[in-house]
Chain A
């Protein structure tokens, strides 16, 4: 009631109320017309030119030129049908799909810009309705220079990102729902949308299910065993090196860090020779020295798996050891003093002070260690190519999901659709794990432990 008695808002000025906002927005259906109505001529021309050139440039992509068949068929048509006539001079389903995705992305930006064109006209109209000053083009340009500089700098990389990251992502995602594989590939055949068939194939056909379960099982065992081992060894050595009164500490630390100094793939290749069954040093020298029989490192799945885990321990511990050494130095000494006064043993001190402090401070890095090993393609591929081959599954005995996907998509008889479906499942795993773990980790919250 009071507001009516004391009119302050611009709407209730004595002038006749205007409808510039609505009019401008409606006029904007023709790009730039709304801005023109708002007396922003430069902007109007800019809008008009950008949208018209957008149409001119993309007309072919949207409405014709896709595929080689007759008729005006646009990129989106290609994405929906994946072509109608197979053959080297006709529709190439995969190219049509990529064209379609590009069309889709451009269409998205086009629509976004068009909507913004309408919104802009509406907003300026509303400013006019409120009888406020409409900022001039020059003012807007100055604003852009003063406040928008970082955005301007970011735009090129954003565009690059859309076409180098987002486009392949969409492509992989879409391939998972097609029957694209070595004996169903363009140009000889058309690729078709098959819905979730690749996923049901993984779970319903015995050989694929067995392979998937086998590979997933080993992937999880591998991830946990290799990561936990690396962390345990790293912490153990770091604590050992941090003992007071230890002599030649630097020497020990330097020696222990050496395996980090050699590039991982060289180490893996050297180990691969050392584990060679007929002339590797393990079978010819080390095992006989202990009176043990040679082991089939490369042809027995269990032996290969053990070898892989041992190599990953070797490769991974120096990083954790270095990390933990740093954290150990930041634990306040008075905690230990107090513990000693309370009569704690050395193991109590480790279990109740050192370990929680270490794990708390490094949790995010330890999580990345898990995800790193989950996708640790290098070691699996370089050591034995995922082998040995084992009956009952189509992947090798030491293949983890990522190396199995590699074989499925780049092997002798590629199964692109299936590989893409497994990729989606794998990403789902990683993302879920990452989200859950990151959320539960205390160190991501603001509080300090001490």
Chain B
């Protein structure tokens, strides 16, 4: 019995130490919450999370900002895709940054959970293109400064194609002519909804109905007449053998890159991120906006906007906004473009020579005028998987376009409905 007692005594002592440790953490977060500084006071520093291996320009701007205003800016590299989850943990613990960098299509989910603060000064966004401005809007409020814009464009091998085709009909003809040679006129990953969306919405489909700047998650237009026409058009390219079989599925991207760099594919639909790989492989690369569809409409690709957003946990919102305005102004956005090929959606830069002389950047700018920002409401998360499946069924010719689209939309609608029940 005695021994047991001693054991218990010791264990309690250990627990007490454990509690001490636990409590130390708790008081920390409490004190940061209380010590809120007003915006009049200069904060010691503000913290920005920048994408990994892309922070040099930001650091330069931060240095200039500190010299001018006397507020230090700490630039921390965090993988952009990880920032959302990290903010949700670090923010409440009082260790979060003032500024995060997120893809704009995540804004809805993060803002909905209260991790982001809307901008106080929406007028500052007037310098950006309309499409990128609408991309950062959620629930009627602006949630960030656009950093760069991405959208798929037409890339072609100048050794094989002298001039960028302007209509899909031309490309179709090119493809059918080349088929006998075992070459491909045009390749696109249309079994992936990110790329297929351009065709589907070009024919008249839409993901969520836009109503006065807000998206309506109860109105999914991916099986309307136009969308089905788009599905059928996609199916046609696969069915007639204009796309190789290996292009379907997750290794499709690899297959496409390989065919393009081996000069077997004359043109491809791909985004600016692919440029480095193509030029490294020795492709004499040209780029332009995507051609028009047979119905005369442009291909309305999805547009993604990397966005600097404000953490809801920041106590230095005004300083953070001031820094962002500087970081994304014409001059610094151009620096960012020169350093990392991040194409800035700054309206004044559209005619800037540095950008227009870069074929890919110009193509992205041109394509962006027809592009649709990826919906940034949380319900978008339910769209990808069913659409991927519908597209796969159409691409492999296993099911007709109407039924595939109907099934997918039914799943999407049920998922969205169920999540709110």
Contact = CB atoms under 8 A, between A and B. Distances in A.
Interface of A: 46-47, 50, 53-54, 57-58, 60-61, 65, 68, 86-89, 92, 95, 99, 102, 106, 109-110, 112-113, 116, 120, 123, 135, 139-141, 143-144, 146-148, 151-152, 155-156, 158-159, 163, 181-183, 185-189, 201, 205, 207-208, 211, 276-279, 296, 298-299, 387-394, 396, 411-413, 415
B74 interface: no
Contact of A86 (B4, B114, B393, B398): B114
Interface string B391-417: 011001010000000011011001101
B20 interface: yes
Nearest to B311: A88
B11 A147 contact: no
A163 to B, nearest CB: 8
Interface of B: 1-16, 18-20, 22-23, 26-27, 30, 33, 36, 91-92, 109, 112-115, 117, 245-246, 248-249, 312-313, 378-382, 384-386, 389, 392-393, 396, 398, 407-408, 410-411, 414-415, 417-421
A204 to B, nearest CB: 10
B92 A92 contact: yes
A89 B411 contact: no
Q: Which 9 A-B pairs have the closest CB atoms?
A: A412-B381, A188-B114, A88-B312, A144-B6, A148-B3, A187-B114, A207-B418, A113-B12, A278-B248
Contact of A413 (B22, B249, B379, B410): B379
Contacts of B386: 389
A148 B6 contact: yes
Given A109-B15, A391-B410, A394-B418, A299 B20 contact: no
Contacts of B114: 86-88, 185-189
7 contacts: A60-B23, A113-B12, A140-B2, A155-B7, A185-B114, A187-B113, A187-B114
Nearest to A187: B114
A120 B3 CA distance: 12
A61 B421 contact: no
Contacts of A116: 5, 8
A61 B6 contact: no
Q: Pick the most buried of A47, A112, A159, A394: most chain B CB atoms within 10 A of its CB.
A: A394
Given A61-B26, A185-B113, A413 B8 contact: no
Contacts of A187: 91-92, 113-115, 312
Given A50-B13, A65-B30, A389 B411 contact: yes
A344 B407 CA distance: 59
A116 B26 CA distance: 29
B382 A61 contact: no
B19 A61 contact: yes
B5 A140 contact: yes
Contacts of B11: 109, 155, 158-159
B393 A152 contact: no
A392 B413 CA distance: 10
B332 to A, nearest CB: 29
A274 B113 CA distance: 42
Contacts of A120: 5
Contacts of B382: 412-413
B2 A188 contact: no
B411 A390 contact: yes
A205 B414 CA distance: 12
A390 B389 CA distance: 10
A95 B92 contact: yes
A359 to B, nearest CB: 42
A57 B18 CA distance: 10
A389 B312 CA distance: 36
A299 B10 CA distance: 60
B407 to A, nearest CB: 5
A299 B421 contact: no
Contact of B26 (A65, A158, A279): A65
B375 to A, nearest CB: 12
A415 B419 contact: yes
A143 B420 contact: no
Given A188-B114, A296-B398, A299-B393, A278 B2 contact: no
Given A50-B9, A57-B23, A182-B113, 5 more contacts: A50-B12, A99-B26, A110-B12, A143-B3, A389-B386
A147 B5 CA distance: 12
B420 A183 contact: yes
A433 B120 CA distance: 58
Contact of B33 (A68, A144, A278, A390): A68
A390 B408 CA distance: 8
A388 B418 CA distance: 18
A389 B388 CA distance: 10
A298 B313 CA distance: 44
B9 A46 contact: yes
A54 B16 contact: yes
Contact of B14 (A159, A189, A391): A159
B358 to A, nearest CB: 35
Nearest to B252: A278
Nearest to B420: A183
A139 B1 CA distance: 12
A183 B415 contact: no
Contacts of B419: 181-183, 394, 413, 415
Nearest to A150: B7
Given A61-B26, A413-B379, A279 B8 contact: no
A88 B115 contact: yes
B6 A278 contact: no
A296 B411 CA distance: 19
Contact of B92 (A88, A113, A276): A88
Contacts of B16: 50, 53-54, 57-58
A394 B415 contact: yes
A86 B92 CA distance: 12
A390 B113 CA distance: 29
Contacts of B418: 205, 207-208, 211, 394
B411 A391 contact: yes
B246 A279 contact: yes
A217 to B, nearest CB: 18
A116 B5 CA distance: 8
B270 to A, nearest CB: 20
Contacts of A279: 245-246, 248-249
Contacts of B381: 411-413
Contacts of A391: 407, 410-411, 414
